[in-house]
């Protein structure tokens, strides 16, 4: 299961950065957040993308505007359902792995 391997590596990387993982694969109808973590007082919603080969572009290029919109909606739902409010400091990001899940190059990309 390559997706699970990539998400496990991403979670380990985020924990190495000092983050606390709050949820994995948070699902709502039509959307999902791969990882929800806390970075100090900020909640971070992370999409994990991995590409073994650059044949069809790198991992970051696989994130479409539609995916970002779904991610935003899922993050807002998480805030309201799980924490009871939508005004907490938070951010969206994409963690990419280019190459094999276990050894590929990791990169964190902030979503504006």
Say whether pLDDT at 55 is over 80: no
| Domain 2-111 in this protein, CATH class | alpha beta
Which residues have CB under 8 Å from 82's CB, separation 6+?
23
CA distance 90 to 30: 21
Strands of the sheet with 20-28, listed across from one edge: 20-28, 31-39, 42-51, 90-98, 105-111
**Would you say how long the chain is, in residues?**
112
Mean pLDDT, all residues of the chain: 89
Residue 56's pLDDT is: 65
Enumerate the domain spans of the chain: 2-111
Say whether pLDDT at 12 is over 90: yes
Confidence at 54, pLDDT banded by 50, 70, 90: low
79, 111, 88: which is closest to 49 by C-alpha? 111
- Residue 112 tokens read as 């504006």
Residue 14's pLDDT is: 97
- Cβ contact 57:10 at 8 Å: no
- Cβ contact 79:90 at 8 Å: yes
- Cβ contact 108:98 at 8 Å: no
Q: Is 16 left (phi over 0), alpha (psi -120 to 50) or beta?
A: alpha
Share of the chain above pLDDT 70, in %: 89
Model confidence over 67-92: pLDDT tens digits?
A: 889 999 999 999 999 999 989 999 99
């Amino acid at each position: 299961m390559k997706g699970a391997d990539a998400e496990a590596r991403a979670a380990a990387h985020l924990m190495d950065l000092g983050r606390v993982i709050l949820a994995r694969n948070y699902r709502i109808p039509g959307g999902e957040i791969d990882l929800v973590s806390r970075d100090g007082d900020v909640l971070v919603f992370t999409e994990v993308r991995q590409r073994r080969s650059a044949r069809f572009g790198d991992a970051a290029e696989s994130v479409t505007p539609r995916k970002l919109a779904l991610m935003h909606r899922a993050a807002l739902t998480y805030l309201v359902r799980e924490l009871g409010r939508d005004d907490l400091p938070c951010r969206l990001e994409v963690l990419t792995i280019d190459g094999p899940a276990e050894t590929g190059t990791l990169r964190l990309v902030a979503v504006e």
